[in-house]
Structure 1
Amino acid sequence: MRTGFETAGRGRRAAAALLAVVVAFTAATVSGCDEGGASSPAPRAQERRATNPPAGVPSVFTGQRLNWAVCPAPSGAQGKGEAPGEDYECATMKAPLDYARPGGDTIDVALIRKRATGPEGGRIGSLLLNFGGPGVSGVVTLPAVADDYAVLGEAYDLVSFDPRGVGGTAPVLCGQDTYEGASACGGRSGRLLPYVGTSSTARDMELMRFLLGDERLHYFGVSYGTRLGGVYAHLFPRNVGRMVLEAPVDPVLDDFRSEIARARAVQRAFDRFARHCAKTYDDCPTGSGPEQARQRVTALLDRLKEKPAPAEGGEDLDDSLAAHGIANHLDRGRDGWERLVEALREVMERGRGDALLAEAYDHDPDSRARLAGAHAGVTGDNGTSALVAISCADSDLRPSFDEFDVMERQVAAASPVFGETWANALYLCYDWPFDGESAAADVRAEGAPPVLVVANTGDPTTPYEGARRMAAELGERVGVLLTVRDEGHGSFPHNRCAERAVHLYLVHGTTPEAGAVCP
């Protein structure tokens, strides 16, 4: 029989382990392009006004104007830091807390914009971006990764935002300085918790579309952002413009089956790394191939569970953080493989955990890093609390202890290396004070224009099979799948073929042919 103390501890450990399964964003840098350079943005005298306001939303919201001004430095809930500079402007949008009762409480939604740098006549509109998570601040992330979208930023105003519960938008707080668990979330932010799910944020996006002056929503969503984009397309198919869903989550599977699929995907990625390591290095730390690699790394994790490896700063690397660090290297694709070899050598041969610990924490803005921080008891911003709150608002998975034990064994069996750690995420919403919305996301979008779905065959975080289902669920004439034969979580902009396809679609409206494949 488990005591209440043990129950609370297990819930907190589950929050840390969710970093193995929550979708995330991999940042890269746009290399030199031949599409032309950027020029300084030309000011526009007056904002455009769209003519199709969101249905059922009172005029007190649709009649507001966004007052764009110089961005302040990020708040504590956004992680602090320096202001993004003169290229960016910020605004606050007033929205109903509950769209079913729009006359009730309201929230402020934090937005950021970088105006289009191309000629005024070539501007298409605004491109709304979500970089993954959930729990990632778009206000903080856009300035950090805007160079990746430089070509798109000539034709579009690049716009991002903090989703509900995150950073500057009705931030959920589940502790003073750390994530303390479900009861702390309910005690501090209970009023917000039923309204931070993806469907509510999708409705915020519809209000944004109108206030930004666009008749249709142009959107680029990565990882979790594909769920958000898919839900928007389902709710407002006639208002979808050009939409890219990259590294998509699986809209069909419930959380339990998703965990099994993700565990299998990261294990397959690890096995491919192990083959590469064996062929490339005479002294490969994982041995002669996948089978020996599994044995050596599972033995390493067992040792770290009993005796964590020391690292700089006074923190130790335990088995959970080591699994997260390895997975984050795999998320980076082949670029992460060489560094993973060195990180494994360091901990296996020298007994130091510095490199894997740094990767577990520093793969920002990946949600894995946020929850690795929660594992250590330090979060910095409210990203961990937001991640848990949004995940539990979306998911109806509330297993009992007995059900969890059965599920845990099945997820653990899906991956010898990562399964045990990944399985703890199933317990994330135990004792959550509100029910979740659904078992899976409804993304059916009949009547929407073509939506471009981009996916790596070797994605260790959002398995390729989920991309195929995303394209199919969007609809026969809607979902257009571009298959990228590559490793890592996400392909834009570092895969040049995928980058060109995205540019052609978003700038010129040209979709790839059915069955298109990038080498």
Structure 2
Amino acid sequence: MRTGWETAGRGRRAAAALLAVVVAFTAAGVSRCDAGGASSPAPRAQERGATNPPAGVPSVFTGQRLDWAVCPAPSGAQGDGEAPGEDYECATMKAPLDYARPGGGTIDVALIRKRATGPEEGRIGSLLLNFGGPGVSGVVTLPAVAGDYAVLGEAYDLVSFDPRGVGGTAPVLCGQDTYEGASACGGRSGRLLPYVGTSYTARDMELMRFLLGDERLHYFGVSYGTRLGGVYAHLFPRNVGRMVLEAPVDPVLDGFRSEVAGARAVQRAFDRFARHCAKTHDDCPTGSGPEQARQRVTALLDRLKEKPAPAGGGEDLDDSLAAHGIANHLDRGRDGWEPLVKALREVMERGRGDALLAEAYDHAPDSRARRTGARAGVTGVTGDNGTSALVAISCADSDLRPSFEEYDVMEREVAAASPVFGETWANALYLCYDWPFDGESAAADVRAAGAPPVLVVANTGDPTTPYEGARRMAAELGEGVGVLLTVRDEGHGSFPHNRCGARAVHLYLLHGTTPEAGAVCP
């Protein structure tokens, strides 16, 4: 009997698992935030560079100079496109492939920066940004979203990078045949795969900190970027500067429990949407409330499984793509609710899947990767390599390798957690089946005793990274380290559109002022 990626039925599950992860990963003042919070002086970058090099890293790496130059156009692995313009500079950092054996090979890490726009005397240093994923190119994303960070960009050089395996940093390349799967990744990128996990990238960030000239790392991580920031804080607590972890992943749950929690969170978000739709539309396509909405949308997904709906470009909308299209609308918070009403009407009443398909493919900075991977149903790409990188990093960060029998048990529990999304979300459990290397636990050690306060920001209605995980992230960082700011809002992430939350982030990163314990943004 054929097994794993080579088995047709399991291959389809693997392809669906890929899509499940690709598409799912991604007021005026703060309540009691202005007074009584902790404050710290602004640490400044040293004129002659940082004086605390990474421990144990040879001078061939710590002695290099970053040669910044105007950025070229993105490479094929970064998705192609136009050069970002003269405001952006790019450089390459050479790092050990394996920090435990720094003489055993190197890797070139692609960096981008936008210099601080304010006066030199007000400059704090560099703010390193990771926009999530995993698999998102920071080199491509920073120019697209820099406006969101304009206030911070007056005092900080905005810096981002392509993590290991992504875009311009030794891109992972896997097969374009669904059934090749893991074997294709191993055949094309096998030497790299053991070294693309979060712990390696966190060590790259420590080398970046030193080469950027900062005594401490100032960091803003979103979604998966919070795992990266938390692991960095654990490894290098004394070198943490001002760190924001927004829409945090749960550092405690294993891969299976994370999928259960995620299924529950997206179901809760859908139920809140259904209540809103019923209250604001006499002809709401999901009916009179959550219960009827579950029935109607589940029936829709069943129909699409049997007969996909036609959509633009000669493509079809099947049940998995429809589920992700709905979830991605929910990721956008209340701004996504009215477009979701229209998209559901389109497919329910007209039998067209254009709007849901577009949302399934296009919502997120790594939309090109999503479009390519979702269309082909494969781990390979024909544009950027975001899909391949997502799979490789996810599998490096997970020890979940269930047998067929274990998968079936887990699948039932995830499906039970969400009547609408559970069956599709359960496919992610199968993502790393037959992966050629062992992975680290999905539960990340983020204990950071000795670090300064780290600001953890989370929406109560986040459908992708549940709020409960943010509470655990703040607690796991440690007493006096993790500071949780609760934002009572919908959607995956709140910065910068929630004014209250954005103000708190600005106060912290620019002035070192943290909210009081229990601070809440309406």
Task: Identify the TM-score tier after normalising by the shorter chain.
Answer: over 0.9
Q: Label 1:179 to 1:120 Cα distance change in 2 as closer, same or farther (>3 A).
A: farther
- Map of 2:6 onto structure 1: 6
Q: Label 1:483 to 1:80 Cα distance change in 2 as closer, same or farther (>3 A).
A: same
Distance 2:326 2:30 in 1: 25
Residue 266 of structure 1 aligns to a residue in which SS?
helix
Q: Label 1:257 to 1:379 Cα distance change in 2 as closer, same or farther (>3 A).
A: farther
Q: Label 1:372 to 1:323 Cα distance change in 2 as closer, same or farther (>3 A).
A: farther
Per-residue CA deviations over 1:20-71 (Å, capped at 9, x if unaligned) read 4569786999999999999999999997410000000000000000000010
Tell me if structure 2 keeps the 8 A contact 1:178–1:374: no
Q: Label 1:36 to 1:283 Cα distance change in 2 as closer, same or farther (>3 A).
A: farther
Offset of 1:500 from its aligned partner?
A: 0.1
- Map of 1:423 onto structure 2: 426
Greater displacement, 435-444 / 61-70: 435-444
Q: Matched residue pairs, number?
A: 519
What percent of counterpart residues are identical? Answer: 94
- Map of 2:496 onto structure 1: 493
Tell me if structure 2 keeps the 8 A contact 1:16–1:375: no
Distance 1:250 1:208 in 2: 26
Normalising by structure 1, report the TM-score: 0.94
Per-residue CA deviations over 1:125-184 (Å, capped at 9, x if unaligned) read 000000000000000000000000000000000000000000000111002598951100
Q: Which runs of 5+ in 2 are unaligned?
A: none
Distance 1:60 1:91 in 2: 17
Residue 178 of structure 1 aligns to a residue in which SS?
coil
Offset of 1:323 from its aligned partner?
A: 0.3
Tell me if structure 2 keeps the 8 A contact 1:129–1:158: yes
Tell me if structure 2 keeps the 8 A contact 1:77–1:168: yes
Distance 2:431 2:217 in 1: 33
Tell me if structure 2 keeps the 8 A contact 1:41–1:116: no
Residue 361 of structure 1 aligns to a residue in which SS?
helix
Normalising by structure 2, report the TM-score: 0.93
Could you tell me which of 424, 442, 447 is aligned with 1:444?
447
Tell me if structure 2 keeps the 8 A contact 1:69–1:90: yes
- Map of 2:487 onto structure 1: 484
Q: Label 1:372 to 1:276 Cα distance change in 2 as closer, same or farther (>3 A).
A: farther
Q: Label 1:142 to 1:489 Cα distance change in 2 as closer, same or farther (>3 A).
A: same
Greater displacement, 10-19 / 340-349: 10-19
Task: Provide the aligned C-alpha RMSD in A.
Answer: 4.4
Distance 1:81 1:37 in 2: 44
Q: Label 1:369 to 1:38 Cα distance change in 2 as closer, same or farther (>3 A).
A: farther
Residue 486 of structure 2 aligns to a residue in which SS?
strand
Distance 1:378 1:103 in 2: 32
Offset of 1:104 from its aligned partner?
A: 1.1
Q: Label 1:43 to 1:419 Cα distance change in 2 as closer, same or farther (>3 A).
A: closer
Tell me if structure 2 keeps the 8 A contact 1:360–1:368: no
Q: Label 1:143 to 1:502 Cα distance change in 2 as closer, same or farther (>3 A).
A: same
Per-residue CA deviations over 1:447-467 (Å, capped at 9, x if unaligned) read 000000000000000000000
Greater displacement, 365-374 / 419-428: 365-374
Tell me if structure 2 keeps the 8 A contact 1:26–1:332: no
Q: Label 1:24 to 1:500 Cα distance change in 2 as closer, same or farther (>3 A).
A: farther
Per-residue CA deviations over 1:321-377 (Å, capped at 9, x if unaligned) read 000000000000000000000000000000000000000011122579627733538
Distance 2:250 2:179 in 1: 27
Tell me if structure 1 keeps the 8 A contact 2:112–2:139: yes
Q: Label 1:27 to 1:255 Cα distance change in 2 as closer, same or farther (>3 A).
A: farther
Tell me if structure 1 keeps the 8 A contact 2:372–2:383: no
Residues 1:369 and 2:369 are matched in the alignment: yes
Offset of 1:312 from its aligned partner?
A: 1.2
Greater displacement, 159-168 / 357-366: 357-366
Offset of 1:87 from its aligned partner?
A: 0.3
Q: Label 1:380 to 1:369 Cα distance change in 2 as closer, same or farther (>3 A).
A: closer
Distance 1:176 1:90 in 2: 30
Greater displacement, 237-246 / 4-13: 4-13
Tell me if structure 1 keeps the 8 A contact 2:7–2:179: no
Offset of 1:19 from its aligned partner?
A: 4.4
Tell me if structure 1 keeps the 8 A contact 2:44–2:214: no
Tell me if structure 2 keeps the 8 A contact 1:305–1:319: yes
Offset of 1:16 from its aligned partner?
A: 3.8
Tell me if structure 1 keeps the 8 A contact 2:369–2:387: no
Offset of 1:441 from its aligned partner?
A: 0.5
Distance 2:372 2:32 in 1: 34
Residue 21 of structure 1 aligns to a residue in which SS?
helix
Residue 53 of structure 2 aligns to a residue in which SS?
coil
Tell me if structure 1 keeps the 8 A contact 2:26–2:133: no
Offset of 1:397 from its aligned partner?
A: 0.5
Q: Label 1:25 to 1:95 Cα distance change in 2 as closer, same or farther (>3 A).
A: same
Greater displacement, 356-365 / 237-246: 356-365
Residue 448 of structure 1 aligns to a residue in which SS?
coil
Per-residue CA deviations over 1:159-217 (Å, capped at 9, x if unaligned) read 00000000000111002598951100000000000000000000000000000000000
Residue 429 of structure 2 aligns to a residue in which SS?
helix
- Map of 2:190 onto structure 1: 190
Tell me if structure 2 keeps the 8 A contact 1:20–1:368: no
Greater displacement, 17-26 / 499-508: 17-26
Distance 1:177 1:400 in 2: 22
Distance 2:477 2:405 in 1: 36
Distance 2:31 2:483 in 1: 26
Residue 18 of structure 1 aligns to a residue in which SS?
helix
- Map of 2:200 onto structure 1: 200
Tell me if structure 1 keeps the 8 A contact 2:29–2:503: no
Q: Label 1:126 to 1:3 Cα distance change in 2 as closer, same or farther (>3 A).
A: closer
Tell me if structure 1 keeps the 8 A contact 2:26–2:223: no
Distance 2:505 2:168 in 1: 30
Greater displacement, 430-439 / 30-39: 30-39
Distance 1:45 1:252 in 2: 34
Q: Label 1:258 to 1:374 Cα distance change in 2 as closer, same or farther (>3 A).
A: same
Offset of 1:114 from its aligned partner?
A: 0.1
Residues 1:143 and 2:146 are matched in the alignment: no
Offset of 1:96 from its aligned partner?
A: 0.3
Per-residue CA deviations over 1:351-409 (Å, capped at 9, x if unaligned) read 00000000001112257962773353855211111001001111111000000000001
Tell me if structure 2 keeps the 8 A contact 1:461–1:489: yes
- Map of 2:119 onto structure 1: 119
- Map of 1:77 onto structure 2: 77
Tell me if structure 2 keeps the 8 A contact 1:91–1:111: yes
Distance 2:115 2:98 in 1: 31
Distance 2:390 2:184 in 1: 14
Q: Label 1:109 to 1:4 Cα distance change in 2 as closer, same or farther (>3 A).
A: closer
Q: Label 1:423 to 1:37 Cα distance change in 2 as closer, same or farther (>3 A).
A: closer
Distance 2:472 2:44 in 1: 42
Offset of 1:439 from its aligned partner?
A: 4.0
Distance 2:399 2:212 in 1: 34
Tell me if structure 1 keeps the 8 A contact 2:33–2:519: no
Could you tell me which of 456, 472, 488 is aligned with 2:459?
456
Offset of 1:314 from its aligned partner?
A: 0.5
Distance 1:187 1:12 in 2: 21
Residue 23 of structure 1 aligns to a residue in which SS?
helix
Tell me if structure 1 keeps the 8 A contact 2:31–2:519: no
Q: Label 1:475 to 1:379 Cα distance change in 2 as closer, same or farther (>3 A).
A: farther
